Amino acid sequence: MDRRTFLTAAPLASVPALAAGAAPADPLVGLLEEWRRARKAIHAAEDARLEHEFEAAEAKEDHFRTRIMAARPVSMAGAAAQLDFAIEDELVGGEYFGADRVMFRNLRDFMASAAA
């Protein structure tokens, strides 16, 4: 390899490494986990017929739902977390034979594999 080719290629060689290492932590991943915990608490309180605990868990779930839906992902993991939320919360339009749900799952799987 001649000097000119080497000097031209050297800066580009470091770009993928920098991009991979520079990915910020995405708050959406944590928000999804909090929403899941709140959702489990709702079901537990509902099963035990605990009105006060149910209302508190429902308010917490609504809080995290609003934050997840309003947040902009800053990473592929965050975008995948939003898609997980959409799938789990059944935020789908009920398209023909669940085509929208399949699309969300396909997007999520692709994003998760690209982030790995």
**pLDDT higher at 19 or 49:** 49
15/13 Cα distance (integer angstroms): 6
Q: What is the mean pLDDT of residues 47-65?
A: 91
What percent of the chain is modeled with pLDDT above 90? Answer: 32
Q: What's residue 99's pLDDT?
A: 79
Determine the structural domain holding residue 69 and report its residue range: 27-115
Statement: residue 10 has pLDDT above 50: no
What pTM does this model have?
A: 0.63
- Mean of per-residue pLDDT scores for the chain: 79
Provide the number of structural domains found in the chain: 1
32 domain residue, yes or no: yes
Residue-wise pLDDT for 89-113, tens only, equals: 888 777 777 777 787 888 888 888 8
Residue pointed to by tokens 């982030």: 115
91/42 Cα distance (integer angstroms): 18
Is residue 40 within 8 Å of residue 92, measured between CB atoms? no
Statement: residue 38 has pLDDT above 60: yes
78 domain residue, yes or no: yes
* In 1-116, beta strands by DSSP E: none
115/95 Cα distance (integer angstroms): 28
